[in-house]
Amino acid sequence: MSYIIHPIVTARIAVDTGRLTYLRNYGKRAWLPCPFYVITGGPEPVLVDTSASADLMSHLRLEPVEHVLDFQEGLASAGFSLKEIRIVILTHLMYDHCANSKLLPNARFTVQKRELDFALAPHPMFAGSYQRNLFEGLPCEIVDGDQEFMLGIKLLLTPGHSPGCQSVAVSTSAGLAIITGFCCIQENFMPQLNQAWKTDIVPDVIPPGIHTDMLQAYESTMRVKELADILIPIHDPIMGTKKQIPEEKA
């Protein structure tokens, strides 16, 4: 099975880049996309995350938010309606990844057990990221660990950014593409571009700046880097420019 992945951006958020790259880039602001992903090429579309509207995020965030596209319009751009979506993988339950989920009347959602457990009773440091009303009551398939989700799509438990974050490995014509799930940009996989200290030891990856366990986050980032032929860092600015992954051949 060979799939195509369509990044669809509903909003952009102004973020201190240090929140994405641990111990690096503090004081450097970037506008980062908040996408969801539509996987096509199988019997029916598969969504990865549902993103959030700029209006909702403007009430939950201190930083500026910019509207790009309504969720329904984003789905329509890929050729689908809200009612047609029946399969959704939620990488984790922070609000910017799941807020539009209840707009999908016929969908079932797959989430990791330890993510749901944490989201229902988050640590005070993460309480603002988990808005219970956005995911409570969703019809969920609960998984625990790596799973063969369907032919050509695999779920990878990649904790650290959150306790039950999962990445999505997708077979494509250009190799294995992995949607990271954890909040990162391309620079998380190229740490030599920006060292935190003067040292001869260069880490292989940079974990997300926001994490519940930094060492787990490092190992998860390493795992994705080693497995992927195509890396899809979920909040990288390039996601706002791509129509599909892999790109169409000229």
The pLDDT of residue 197 is 72
Condensed to tens digits (0 to 9), the pLDDT of residues 114-162 reads: 999 999 999 999 999 999 999 999 999 999 999 999 999 999 999 999 9
- Taking the domains of the chain in order of start, what are their residue ranges? 4-240
**With bands split at pLDDT 50, 70 and 90, how would you rate the model's confidence at 84?**
very high
Q: Is 247 exposed, middle or buried (0-12, 13-18, 19+ CB in 10 A)?
A: exposed
| Per-position DSSP letters for 92-104, written without gaps between them | --SHHHHTTGGG-
CATH code given to domain 4-240: 3.60.15.10
**What would the mean pLDDT of 200-228 be, rounded to a whole number?**
95
Residues 6+ apart with CB under 8 A from 119: 92, 93, 130, 132, 135
| pLDDT average, residue stretch 217-246 | 96
CB 129 within 8 A of CB 123: no
Least Cα distance to 5 among 184, 162, 234 occurs for 234
Q: What is the pLDDT of residues 186-207, one digit of tens each?
A: 999 987 766 777 777 889 999 9
Our separate counts of H helices and E strands in the chain read: 6, 12
Residue type, 168: V
Mean pLDDT computed over 33-45: 97
Q: Is-contact 180 234, C-beta < 8 A?
A: yes
Does 237 score more than 80 pLDDT? yes
Query: Is 170's pLDDT higher than 80?
Result: yes
What was the pLDDT predicted at 36?
98
Lowest mean pLDDT among 41-45, 169-173, 202-206, 246-250: 246-250
Q: What is the pLDDT of residue 62?
A: 85
Range of weakest confidence among 9-13, 34-38, 62-66, 71-75: 62-66
Neighbouring-strand partners of residue 39: 5, 46
Q: How far apart are CA 230 and CA 211, in angstroms?
A: 24
**What average pLDDT does the chain have?**
94
Residue 27 has pLDDT above 70, yes or no: yes
Non-local CB neighbours of 16 within 8 Å, separated by 6+ positions? 25, 26, 27, 28, 29, 63
Closest of 8, 15, 37, 32 to residue 172, by C-alpha:
37
If you average pLDDT over residues 242-249, what whole number do you get? 88
CB burial of residue 218 (10 Å; 0-12, 13-18, 19+): buried
pLDDT at 88: 98
pLDDT for residue 42: 94
